Amino acid sequence: MEIESAFVLEWDRYMELGAIACVVIAVLILLYHEFKVMQIKDYKEKYDYVNLNEVRFFWYAVLTVVVAIGFFANSVATEKIYSHGILWFYVRLFITASFVVIGYFVFYSMVRIYYPRSVEKRLVKLRNKPRVSPAGNEMRKLTEDEEDAHLDAQQIAEEASAIHSVDYDVWLDEKTGYKKIEKYQSYLHAEQCPECGFFTFKITKEEVAEKPTQTQPGILLKHYQCDYCNHREARETKLSALGNNVA
Element (DSSP H or E) covering residue 20: helix 2-39
Q: Note the pLDDT of residue 224.
A: 87
Q: Give domain limits for the chain.
A: 2-128, 141-245
Q: Note the pLDDT of residue 155.
A: 66
Per-residue pLDDT tens for 116-168? 889 989 999 999 999 999 999 999 999 877 776 777 666 656 655 545 567 78
Burial class (CB in 10 A: 0-12, 13-18, 19+), 104: middle
Q: Note the pLDDT of residue 39.
A: 96
Q: Note the pLDDT of residue 131.
A: 94
More confident residue, 236 or 26: 26
Q: Note the pLDDT of residue 245.
A: 45
Per-residue pLDDT tens for 45-91? 999 999 989 999 999 999 999 999 999 999 988 888 888 778 888 98
Q: Note the pLDDT of residue 187.
A: 65
Quote the CA–CA distance of 83 and 144 in Å, as a whole number.
73
Quote the CA–CA distance of 55 and 65 in Å, as a whole number.
15
DSSP percent split of the chain into helix, strand, coil, nearest 5: 55, 20, 25
Quote the CA–CA distance of 133 and 182 in Å, as a whole number.
13
The mean pLDDT of 98-122, rounded to a whole number, is 90
Per-residue pLDDT tens for 167-205? 788 999 999 999 999 988 766 677 788 888 887 888 877
More confident residue, 105 or 82: 105
